[in-house]
């Protein structure tokens, strides 16, 4: 049943992918993200100092310049070092790893919750629909970062907690989309036929409604990835993100504030990579959305 | 349905949403693992402290009763006490709001003034070089993390080129008191203007340039994209074709015919951008040390840069809760405002 | 009439659309004439190119189209070669258009007054008051009651029929020489359709203009058009006076169209089965070789599959593009 659904989705996906590949913005974004994912996966192997990337501090790297170990770029350390003598480049690689890991997982979780809530609401309608949608509205009213902040404040910082907090923040948009899709599809002939021949609800939802609903959610997913990365970095900046010594781009930028006037590299490079990562995701999301937004009819 | 009914309906919905938010923030602290008392007790509380808080918040009572106590307190303007700052939350919020609202308003104005024209420009020639450049530019703006941009600007223009002051309203922590700026609205900038201290106002404004630019970057990107999208959607419509068929020149079509139709989603975006900027103050106010402010409060509430935060209640939860409620209410209000504006423009919605 | 200089003359016009999938020839060497005070009907199915013809005349072809040949001469001027400023000044003033769906063709956020007056003031140096008077005058011509009140309304507050009358009023407000109507009655129901046609006939007497009436409905054409041009897959297949073509259709396609018009009979016994034309219009990306109608033509023979027939004058004023003649 699941395999069937996946195959259906795949077939539909093929219809889109061809024209998308011609879009230059999509290509550039895809290349950037491709590189970033590569870095994320292979960080331990491609970092010049993997142990430092993971948090090991090194004493006396450049005692003359900085007792705290913040050293300017040099041959040994292409981007310099941050506090504790840790190689910045390696730290950045591991930071990218954290960002990508969290963002993908969060979006998956959010999409999962959103699909569950939205499809249920849309398919069953009535009171269930009303109740679920009101709850969704309330969650939608709270700005993402604030809600996540609240949750992490309660749960305490840490990777898992950040993951839960962000996932709990992003699902409403998916739920809304899933619901409107479900509502549109549940009245289609093929669904009614399935009901008439007595197919169980679960079967109908998985086999018929789900594959047809998935497209706008995938578009939304591509749009959200960048935002989630920023939110995660933002939380870390405030101090409520992943805990050190795990590398995190937002946290690195925060730590750089104390050294900003003397050591510009500690703030510049992490931020640069963070921006690039988000930009890559945004480019992909933008190209996907530009292609499939029904309002922007092709002028032909 | 007419105007009055619609407004009433939306207002009721908004109240419902706010109520929902209150419920959520309340229950979050009580349902998630951990002793709620710890959240409100501060760092390393003594057993007596915990007992006192437990009593004060009535934590031994059933959940719904606690909620009523909470709402009751809310209606009387009591949002609890901030542990870290030892002051009632309501007072702190009242102090912080005007300045943050000033920042957010300025940022929204900048986003609109820069974003809308650029968006229109991009929509004139879809997929042309100009359009693509603007698209990438807006994507770049949206990708920039607030905190990073703020630091960079600070580095470049403040400590580097010495054009703008590095931090604080007016450039120094003591500026406000030194210049005897009275408290009329609570917003330093407005108060300076209203009390006739124009040179002080100018300096305050000058010190706000970098923060506002930082705060406006993301919104500007959003507005450019929204405007472009809305204009493109409108320009494809039949009535634009009619206007062209009757010889109306392109610039008139753009300014009058298309814009009025396209402006509603842009207005909605601006309203949301305003509320979003309030959230953005979290980063800006800390980096540029603009206090008092909502963002600044949040920073203090979460234990500034505390990499050693433990679960022992170090986050000042009543403060966080208070700020969350305020900002969410702001969002709800702005959404409401955006809806009303939309209605005024497109008469069809009334019916 | 046959010796006077035509108001609009289209000669060998060819228009192509460039799409991701390939190039489509929407119009293939189309030639036709519209004389002064004449109503010319253009009949064809969707995809025959009739709308393209309308848009080409007024210069509003979409961005991915190319005029690859021919000329459009209006009152002596070649519109294809004229500078954009000249074309813009012609639109509305000398050539105006009435569109198919009035609901979407009128701007929803502006009152009627604003829309008509702006058109008038664009081409005539008059103040608001005079423009409003002109608008009122024309609204009265299209037999809209309470014209004053209508000016203050928004488009969605009017019914379909009223909206279309407003569009016609707008089209005639500057007393143009030529009005192009792109399926003006297709979006309204039958009774309104009839009223609009009647209105156009009456206006013809009082306002003195030519009309290019585009439709897929042969019946309508017979009611108000003097001459008719039948189009198929981007080519003209038959041309002649409305009366002649209607009573004696010569091209197989025209004949089939005539047969497929449902006609009520006196009793059910006399009713015939609705006759339809077999097949559908060709895929314009890969059009058939030879005559484009041959796959659906009951009389097709070998020559039809090889060679495309040219439009030939068979009798005075009557042209056919078919190898049968």
The residue of chain C nearest to residue A22, with distances taken between CA atoms, is C20
A touches which chains (3+ CB pairs under 8 A)?
B, C
Q: Which residues in chain C have their CB less than 8 angstroms from residue A299's CB?
A: 62-64
Cα distances from C19 to residues B128, B248, C26, C130, C283, in angstroms, run: 18, 28, 12, 46, 14
pLDDT tens, residue order, chain A (300 aa): 677 777 766 665 555 565 666 677 788 888 999 999 998 888 888 888 777 777 777 776 777 777 677 777 777 777 887 777 788 888 889 889 888 998 999 999 999 998 888 888 888 878 888 888 888 888 887 888 888 888 877 777 778 888 888 888 889 888 888 888 888 887 788 878 887 887 787 777 777 777 777 777 887 888 889 889 998 998 888 877 777 778 888 888 888 887 777 778 888 888 999 999 999 998 888 788 777 665 444 432
Q: Which residues in chain C have their CB less than 8 angstroms from residue B236's CB?
A: none
In C154-213, the residues whose Cβ lies within 8 Å of chain B are 154, 156, 170
- For residues C105-113, average pLDDT: 88
Over residues B128-169, the pLDDT tens digits come to 888 888 988 988 898 999 889 988 888 888 777 777 777 777
Say if the Cβ atoms of A25 and B132 lie within 8 Å.
yes
C132 and C90 co-located in one domain: no
* Predicted local distance difference test score (pLDDT) of residue C1: 45
Asked if residue A262 lies in contact with residue A141, where contact means CB atoms within 8 angstroms, the answer is: no
Range of the domain at C263: 8-94+174-318
Say if A297 is an interface residue toward chain C (CB within 8 Å): no
Asked if residue A263 lies in contact with residue A70, where contact means CB atoms within 8 angstroms, the answer is: yes
Say if the Cβ atoms of C64 and A300 lie within 8 Å.
yes
Check whether the bond before A166 is cis (ω within 30° of 0). Answer: no
Say if the Cβ atoms of C91 and B260 lie within 8 Å.
no
Say if the Cβ atoms of A299 and C62 lie within 8 Å.
yes
A208 CA to chain B: closest CA distance, Å? 31
C236 and C308 co-located in one domain: yes
The residue of chain C nearest to residue A19, with distances taken between CA atoms, is C20
The residue of chain A nearest to residue C16, with distances taken between CA atoms, is A300
Is C281 inside a domain boundary? yes
Q: Which residues in chain B have their CB less than 8 angstroms from residue A235's CB?
A: none
Say if C20 is an interface residue toward chain B (CB within 8 Å): no
B touches which chains (3+ CB pairs under 8 A)?
A, C
C193 and C60 co-located in one domain: yes
Say if A151 is an interface residue toward chain B (CB within 8 Å): yes
Is C323 inside a domain boundary? no
Choose among B49, B45, B48, B40: nearest CA to B82.
B40
CB-side exposure of A224: number of CA atoms within 13 Å? 25
- For residues C111-118, average pLDDT: 89
Over residues B91-132, the pLDDT tens digits come to 888 888 888 898 999 999 999 999 999 999 888 887 788 888
Say if A298 is an interface residue toward chain C (CB within 8 Å): no
Which residue in the set C96, C101, C110 is minimally distant from B246, CB to CB? C96
Say if the Cβ atoms of B241 and C105 lie within 8 Å.
yes
The fold of A38-43+86-296 is: MetI-like fold (1.10.3720)
- For residues C146-165, average pLDDT: 88
A291 CA to chain B: closest CA distance, Å? 12
| Spatial distance between the Cα atoms of A153 and A239, rounded to a whole number of angstroms | 10
Is the interface score ipTM higher than 0.95?
no
* Predicted local distance difference test score (pLDDT) of residue B56: 65
Task: Write the CATH number for C24.
Answer: 3.40.50.300
| Spatial distance between the Cα atoms of B176 and B200, rounded to a whole number of angstroms | 9
C189 and C264 co-located in one domain: yes
3-state secondary structure of A205: helix
Number of domains composing chain C: 2
Residue A150 in tokens: 């609240």
Is C84 inside a domain boundary? yes
Q: Which residues in chain A have their CB less than 8 angstroms from residue B331's CB?
A: 141-143
The residue of chain B nearest to residue A146, with distances taken between CA atoms, is B324
Which residue in the set B238, B247, B248 is minimally distant from C99, CB to CB? B238
| Spatial distance between the Cα atoms of A86 and A71, rounded to a whole number of angstroms | 9
Cα distances from B155 to residues A262, A267, C182, C295, in angstroms, run: 10, 10, 63, 75
Could you please report the per-residue DSSP string of A86-117? Answer: EEHHHHHHHHHHHHHHHHHHHHHHHHHHHHHH
| Spatial distance between the Cα atoms of B337 and B330, rounded to a whole number of angstroms | 10
Say if the Cβ atoms of B302 and A153 lie within 8 Å.
yes
Q: Which residues in chain A have their CB less than 8 angstroms from residue B147's CB?
A: 234, 237, 250, 253-254
Is C2 inside a domain boundary? no
Say if C63 is an interface residue toward chain A (CB within 8 Å): yes
Say if C91 is an interface residue toward chain B (CB within 8 Å): yes
Asked if residue B270 lies in contact with residue B262, where contact means CB atoms within 8 angstroms, the answer is: no
Say if the Cβ atoms of B260 and C58 lie within 8 Å.
no
| Spatial distance between the Cα atoms of C293 and C237, rounded to a whole number of angstroms | 9
SS (HEC) of chain B: CCHHHHHHHHHHHHHHHHHHHHHHHHHHHHHCCCCHHHHHHCCCCCHHHHHHHHHHCCCCCCHHHHHHHHHHHHHCCCCCEECCCCEEHHHHHHHHHHHHHHHHHHHHHHHHHHHHHHHHHHHHCCCCHHHHHHHHHHHHHHHCCHHHHHHHHHHHHHHHCCCCCCCCHHHCCCHHHHCCCCCCCCCHHHHHHHCCCHHHHHHHHHHHHHHHHHHHHHHHHHHHHHHHHHHHHHHCCHHHHHHHHCCCCHHHHHHHHHHHHHHHHHHHHHHHHHHHHHHHHHHHHHHCCCCCCHHHHHHHHCCCCCCCCCCCCCCCHHHHHHHHHHHHHHHHHHHHHHHHHHHHHCHHHHC
| Spatial distance between the Cα atoms of B225 and B123, rounded to a whole number of angstroms | 10
Record the pTM.
0.81
C27 and C156 co-located in one domain: no
In B191-210, the residues whose Cβ lies within 8 Å of chain C are none
| Spatial distance between the Cα atoms of A30 and A281, rounded to a whole number of angstroms | 8
Q: Which residues in chain A have their CB less than 8 angstroms from residue C17's CB?
A: 300
Q: Which residues in chain B have their CB less than 8 angstroms from residue C118's CB?
A: 248, 256
C40 and C111 co-located in one domain: no
> Which residue, C173, C204, C237, sits at the end of a domain?
C173
End-to-end Cα, chain A, rounded Å = 40
pLDDT averaged over every residue in chain B? 79
Q: In angstroms, what is the C-alpha Rg of chain C?
A: 21
Q: Which of C15, C18, C19, C20 has the highest number of chain A CBs within 10 A, making it the mutation to test binding with A?
A: C20
Say if the Cβ atoms of A134 and B20 lie within 8 Å.
yes
Say if A19 is an interface residue toward chain C (CB within 8 Å): yes
Most confident of B195-199, B315-319, C132-136: C132-136
Q: Which residues in chain C have their CB less than 8 angstroms from residue B239's CB?
A: 104-108
* Predicted local distance difference test score (pLDDT) of residue A229: 92
CB-based contacts of B182-188 (< 8 A; 24+ apart in sequence): B185/B98, B186/B94, B186/B95, B186/B97, B186/B98, B186/B99, B187/B98, B187/B99, B187/B101, B187/B102, B188/B99, B188/B102
Say if the Cβ atoms of C63 and A19 lie within 8 Å.
no
| Spatial distance between the Cα atoms of C178 and A192, rounded to a whole number of angstroms | 52
The residue of chain C nearest to residue B262, with distances taken between CA atoms, is C109
A75 CA to chain C: closest CA distance, Å? 51
Q: In angstroms, what is the C-alpha Rg of chain A?
A: 23
Over residues B9-34, the pLDDT tens digits come to 878 888 888 888 877 777 776 665 55
Q: Which residues in chain B have their CB less than 8 angstroms from residue C84's CB?
A: none
Could you please report the per-residue DSSP string of A24-70? Answer: HHHHHHHHHHHHHHHHHHHHHHH-SSHHHHTT---S-SSTTT-TT--
Q: Which of B230, B245, B348 has the highest number of chain C CBs within 10 A, making it the mutation to test binding with C?
A: B245
* Predicted local distance difference test score (pLDDT) of residue A296: 45
| Strands annotated E in C124-283 | 178-182, 210-215, 227-232, 235-241
The residue of chain A nearest to residue C65, with distances taken between CA atoms, is A300
- pLDDT over 60 (residue B313): no
Is C286 inside a domain boundary? yes
| Spatial distance between the Cα atoms of A10 and A283, rounded to a whole number of angstroms | 22
In B260-299, the residues whose Cβ lies within 8 Å of chain C are 260-261
* Predicted local distance difference test score (pLDDT) of residue C206: 83
Over residues C217-242, the pLDDT tens digits come to 888 888 888 899 999 888 888 898 88
Chains A & B: contacts with CB separation below 8 Å: 165
Q: In angstroms, what is the C-alpha Rg of chain B?
A: 24
Counted residue by residue, chain B has a size of 351
Tell me the pLDDT band of B37, cut-offs 50, 70 and 90: low
Say if A300 is an interface residue toward chain C (CB within 8 Å): yes
Q: At what angle do helices B317-345 and B259-287 cross, to 10 degrees?
A: 160
Say if C64 is an interface residue toward chain A (CB within 8 Å): yes
Is C324 inside a domain boundary? no
> Which residue, C173, C207, C223, sits at the end of a domain?
C173
Is C325 inside a domain boundary? no
A207 CA to chain B: closest CA distance, Å? 34
B304-339 CB burial, b ≥16 within 10 A, e <16? ebeeebebbbbbbbbbbbbbbbbbbbbbbebbbebb
Say if the Cβ atoms of A239 and B304 lie within 8 Å.
yes
C179 and C286 co-located in one domain: yes
Of all residues in chain B, the percent with pLDDT exceeding 70 is 80
| Spatial distance between the Cα atoms of A163 and A166, rounded to a whole number of angstroms | 5
* Predicted local distance difference test score (pLDDT) of residue B312: 35
Q: Which residues in chain A have their CB less than 8 angstroms from residue B310's CB?
A: 156
C91 CA to chain B: closest CA distance, Å? 5
Q: Which residues in chain B have their CB less than 8 angstroms from residue A27's CB?
A: none
> Which residue, C173, C190, C217, sits at the end of a domain?
C173
- pLDDT over 50 (residue B275): yes
Say if A156 is an interface residue toward chain B (CB within 8 Å): yes
Say if C101 is an interface residue toward chain B (CB within 8 Å): yes
Most confident of A3-17, B66-80, C176-190: C176-190
- pLDDT over 70 (residue C280): yes
Tell me the pLDDT band of C213, cut-offs 50, 70 and 90: very high
Q: Which residues in chain B have their CB less than 8 angstroms from residue C104's CB?
A: 237-239
């Amino acid at each position: 049943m699941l395999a069937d659904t996946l195959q259906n989705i795949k077939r539909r996906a093929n219809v889109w992918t061809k024209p998308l590949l011609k879009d230059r913005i999509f290509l550039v974004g895809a290349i950037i993200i491709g590189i970033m994912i590569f870095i994320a996966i292979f960080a331990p192997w491609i970092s010049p100092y993997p142990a430092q990337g993971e948090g090991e501090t090194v004493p006396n790297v450049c005692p003359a310049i900085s007792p705290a170990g913040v050293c300017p770029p040099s041959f040994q350390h292409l981007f310099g070092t941050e506090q504790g003598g840790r190689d910045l480049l390696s730290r950045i690689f591991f930071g990218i790893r954290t960002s990508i890991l969290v963002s993908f997982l969060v979006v998956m979780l959010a999409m999962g919750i959103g699909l569950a809530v939205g499809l249920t609401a849309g398919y069953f309608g009535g009171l269930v629909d009303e109740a679920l949608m009101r709850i969704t509205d309330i969650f939608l009213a709270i700005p993402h970062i604030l809600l996540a902040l609240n949750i992490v404040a309660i749960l305490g910082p840490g990777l898992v907690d950040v993951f839960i907090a962000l996932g709990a923040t992003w699902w409403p948009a998916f739920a809304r989309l899933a619901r409107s899709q479900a509502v549109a599809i549940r009245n289609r002939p093929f669904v009614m036929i399935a009901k008439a021949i007595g197919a169980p609800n679960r079967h109908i939802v998985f086999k018929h409604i789900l594959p047809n609903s998935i497209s706008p959610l995938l578009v939304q997913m591509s749009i959200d990835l960048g935002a989630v990365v920023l939110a995660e970095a933002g939380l870390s900046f405030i101090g409520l993100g992943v805990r050190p010594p795990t590398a995190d781009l937002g946290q690195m930028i925060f730590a750089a504030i104390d050294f900003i006037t003397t050591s510009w590299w500690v703030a510049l490079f992490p931020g640069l990579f963070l921006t690039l990562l988000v930009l890559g995701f945004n480019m992909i999301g933008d190209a996907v959305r530009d292609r499939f937004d029904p309002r922007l009819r092709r002028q032909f | 349905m007419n105007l009055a009914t619609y407004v009433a309906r939306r207002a009721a919905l908004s109240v419902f949403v706010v109520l929902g938010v209150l419920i959520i923030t309340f229950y979050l602290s009580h349902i998630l693992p951990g002793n709620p008392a710890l959240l409100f007790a501060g760092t390393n509380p003594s057993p007596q402290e915990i007992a006192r808080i437990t009593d004060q918040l009535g934590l031994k009572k059933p959940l719904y009763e606690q909620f009523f106590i909470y709402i009751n307190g809310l209606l009387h303007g009591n949002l609890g006490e901030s542990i870290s700052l030892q002051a009632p939350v309501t007072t702190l919020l009242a102090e912080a709001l005007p300045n943050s609202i000033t920042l957010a308003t300025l940022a929204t104005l900048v986003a609109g003034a820069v974003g809308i024209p650029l968006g229109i420009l991009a929509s004139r020639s879809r997929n042309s070089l100009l359009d693509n450049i603007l698209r990438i530019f807006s994507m770049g703006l949206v990708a920039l993390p607030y905190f990073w941009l703020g630091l960079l600007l600070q580095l470049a223009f403040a400590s580097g080129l010495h054009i703008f002051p590095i931090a604080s309203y007016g450039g120094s922590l003591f500026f406000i008191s030194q210049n005897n700026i009275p408290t009329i609205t609570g917003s330093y900038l407005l108060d300076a203007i209203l009390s006739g201290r124009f040179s002080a106002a100018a300096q305050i404004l000058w010190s706000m340039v970098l923060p506002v630019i930082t705060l406006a970057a993301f919104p500007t990107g959003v507005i450019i994209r929204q405007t472009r999208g809305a204009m493109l959607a409108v320009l494809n419509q039949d009535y634009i074709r009619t206007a062209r068929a009757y010889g109306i020149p392109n610039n008139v079509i753009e300014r009058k015919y298309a814009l009025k139709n396209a402006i509603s989603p842009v207005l909605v975006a601006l309203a949301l951008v305003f509320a979003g900027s309030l959230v953005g103050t979290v980063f800006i106010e800390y980096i540029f040390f603009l206090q008092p402010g909502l963002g600044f409060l949040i920073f203090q509430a979460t234990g500034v840069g505390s990499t050693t935060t433990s679960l022992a209640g170090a986050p000042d939860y009543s403060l966080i809760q208070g700020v969350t409620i305020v900002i969410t209410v702001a969002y709800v209000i702005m959404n409401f405002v955006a809806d009303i504006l939309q209605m005024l423009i497109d008469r069809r919605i009334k019916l | 009439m046959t010796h006077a200089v035509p108001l609009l003359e289209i000669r060998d016009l060819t228009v192509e659309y460039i799409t991701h999938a390939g190039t489509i020839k929407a119009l293939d060497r189309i030639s036709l004439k519209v004389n002064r005070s004449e109503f010319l009907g253009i009949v064809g199915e969707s995809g025959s190119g009739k709308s393209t013809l309308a848009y080409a005349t007024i210069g509003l072809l979409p961005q991915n189209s190319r005029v690859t040949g021919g000329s459009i001469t209006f009152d002596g001027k070649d519109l294809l070669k004229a500078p954009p400023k000249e074309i813009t000044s012609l639109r509305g003033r000398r050539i105006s258009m009435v569109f198919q769906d009035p609901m979407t063709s009128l701007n929803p956020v502006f009152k009627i007054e604003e829309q008509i007056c702006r058109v008038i003031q664009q081409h005539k140096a008059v103040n608001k008051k005079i423009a409003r008077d002109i608008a009122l005058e024309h609204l009265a011509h299209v037999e809209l009651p309470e014209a004053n009140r209508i000016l203050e309304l928004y488009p969605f507050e009017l019914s379909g029929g009223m909206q279309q009358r407003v569009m016609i009023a707008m089209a005639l407000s500057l007393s143009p020489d030529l009005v192009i109507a792109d399926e003006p009655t297709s979006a309204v129901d039958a009774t309104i359709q009839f009223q609009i046609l009647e209105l156009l006939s009456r206006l013809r007497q009082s306002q003195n203009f030519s009309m290019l009436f585009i439709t897929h409905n042969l019946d309508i054409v017979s009611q108000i058009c003097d001459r008719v041009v039948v189009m198929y897959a981007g080519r003209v297949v038959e041309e002649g006076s409305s009366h002649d073509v209607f009573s004696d259709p010569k091209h197989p396609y025209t004949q089939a169209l005539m047969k497929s018009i449902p006609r009520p009979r006196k009793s059910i016994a006399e009713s015939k089965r609705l006759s339809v034309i077999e097949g559908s219009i060709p895929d314009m990306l890969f059009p058939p070789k030879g005559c484009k109608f041959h796959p659906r033509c009951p009389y097709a023979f070998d020559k039809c599959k090889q060679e495309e027939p040219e439009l030939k004058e068979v009798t005075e004023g009557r042209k056919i593009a078919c190898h049968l003649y």
